[in-house]
Amino acid sequence: MLVLIANLGSTSFKYRLFDMADGDGRVLAQGGYERVTDHGEVIEDALKELESSGAVSSRSEIDAVGFKTVLGRNLSGCVEADDRVLEALEGFADVAPAHNPPYAAGIRQFSRILPDAKLVALFETAFYQWVPEEGARYAVPEAWHEAGIRRYGFHGASHKFIAERSAELLGREDVAACARGLYQDGPQPIDKPLRVISCHLGGSSSVTGIRNGVAVGTSMGFSPQSGLPQNNRVGDLDSGAIPYAAKVLGLEMPEIERQLTKEAGLLGVSGVSNDLRDIHDAATAGNARAQLSIDMLIHEVRRWASSFLFQLGGIDGFVFTAGIGENGPLLREKVCAGLEEFGIKIDPERNAACAAKECEISTADSRVKVFVIPANEELVLANEVFRKISSNNSTQTQ
Annotated binding site for ATP: 14, 275-277, 323-327
2-123, what's its fold?
Answer: Nucleotidyltransferase; domain 5 (3.30.420)
Question: How many whole angstroms separate alpha carbon 253 and alpha carbon 238?
Answer: 16
In this prediction, residue 392 carries a pLDDT of 65
What are the domain boundaries of the chain? 2-123, 171-377
In this prediction, residue 95 carries a pLDDT of 87
User: Residue 330 to residues 36, 111, 336, 373: CA-CA distances in angstroms?
Assistant: 36, 46, 10, 16
Distance of CA 302 to the CA centre of its chain: 19
Asked whether the beta carbons of 328 and 276 are under 8 A apart, the reply is: yes
Low-confidence ranges of the chain (pLDDT < 70): 23, 392-398
Whole-angstrom Cα Rg for the chain: 21
Beta-carbon contacts of 9 under 8 Å, excluding residues fewer than 6 positions away, are 36, 98, 99, 102
**DSSP state for residue 79 in the 8-state scheme:** E
In this prediction, residue 395 carries a pLDDT of 46
Question: How many whole angstroms separate alpha carbon 253 and alpha carbon 236?
Answer: 18
User: Residue 252 to residues 242, 243, 255, 258: CA-CA distances in angstroms?
Assistant: 10, 10, 5, 10
**DSSP state for residue 62 in the 8-state scheme:** -
* Helices 156-169 & 377-397 angle (0-180, nearest 10): 90
- Which stretches within the chain are classed as H helix? 39-52, 83-91, 100-113, 133-136, 142-146, 156-169, 173-180, 182-185, 241-249, 253-262, 265-270, 276-284, 288-312, 322-327, 329-335, 348-353, 377-397
Reduced to 3 states (helix: H, G, I; strand: E, B; else coil), residue 179 is helix
In terms of Cα–Cα distance, which of 133, 349, 34 is closest to 359? Answer: 349
CA distance between the termini of the chain: 21
Question: How many whole angstroms separate alpha carbon 89 and alpha carbon 251?
Answer: 29
DSSP-assigned letters across all residues of 302-338:
HHHHHHHHHHHTS-SEEEEEHHHHHH-HHHHHHHTTT
Question: How many whole angstroms separate alpha carbon 360 and alpha carbon 358?
Answer: 7
Annotated binding site for Mg(2+): 7, 377
The model's pTM: 0.91
CATH architecture of the domain 171-377 equals 2-Layer Sandwich (3.30)
In this prediction, residue 398 carries a pLDDT of 38
Q: CB atoms < 10 A from the CB of 154, how many? A: 27
In terms of Cα–Cα distance, which of 126, 5, 123 is closest to 64? Answer: 5
In this prediction, residue 154 carries a pLDDT of 92
In terms of Cα–Cα distance, which of 227, 237, 290 is closest to 259? Answer: 237
Amino acid identity of 271?
A: G
Give the CA-trace dihedral at 321, 322, 326, 327, to 10 degrees: -150
Asked whether the beta carbons of 120 and 78 are under 8 A apart, the reply is: yes
DSSP-assigned letters across all residues of 210-260:
EETTEEEEES--SSTTSSS--SSS--S--TTHHHHHHHHH---HHHHHHHH
In this prediction, residue 396 carries a pLDDT of 45
Amino acid identity of 179?
A: A
* Helices 100-113 & 83-91 angle (0-180, nearest 10): 160
- Fold matches, 2-123 and 171-377: yes
Annotated binding site: 7, 14, 275-277, 323-327, 377
